[in-house]
Amino acid sequence: MEVILYVSALVAALAFLILVLNLSKTLKSVNNTLDSLARTIDRLEGQLQGITSETTELLHKTNALAEDVQHKTEQLNAVVYAVKDVGTTVQNLNQSINKVTTTVASQMEKNQHKISQAVQWGNVVKQLIGKFKDDQTQTVKAGALSPSEPVVPVTRQPNH
């Protein structure tokens, strides 16, 4: 019986040895996995730092771009207001021209009779001047006046 006890202790010791060896292999495998994981995390950390710095730089550029857009929008607003003022000025000018045109047209209608009389008088004066020149030319040809003598026109005083 003692032998069985020693054999059982030996089997238990061998089983414990096999367990320790398998546990050792498993722990080494876990250690290798953890080392690999640690290296991967280190690389990811480095990449995240690069991404963080690029993100920060991109954020600064975005802020600068937003400020530039804001500044240009303010300048564009000034241009829009100026164009609006020009439009208002042109509209006022058109209204003034329309008023002047209306006034001139109404005055022409009111004074149409006077205008036609002035045109008629102008035609009469033109005809008289033409007759006067014709008479003067005939007189010079007839020898009554020499061409070097000036002809003095007679003017009539208007009756008021």
Give pTM, 2 decimals.
0.40
d(CA 98, CA 78): 30
> For the chain, which residues make up each domain, given as ranges?
2-110, 113-143
Q: What is the pLDDT along the chain (160 residues), one digit of tens a residue?
A: 788 999 999 999 999 999 999 999 999 999 999 999 999 999 999 899 989 999 999 999 999 999 999 999 988 888 888 888 998 999 999 999 999 999 988 888 888 888 888 889 999 999 999 988 888 888 777 665 455 555 555 555 555 5
* Residue 46 burial (CB count, 10 A): 10
Chain CA centroid to CA 60, Å: 26
Distance CA 44, CA 33 (A): 16
What angle in degrees, to the nearest 10, is found between the helix axes of 112-142 and 2-110?
60
The DSSP letter of residue 1 is -
Spatial CA neighbour of 115 closest among 99, 97, 123, 98: 123
Q: What is the end-to-end Cα distance of the chain in Å, rounded?
A: 171
Judged on CB neighbours under 10 Å (0-12, 13-18, 19+), 14 is exposed
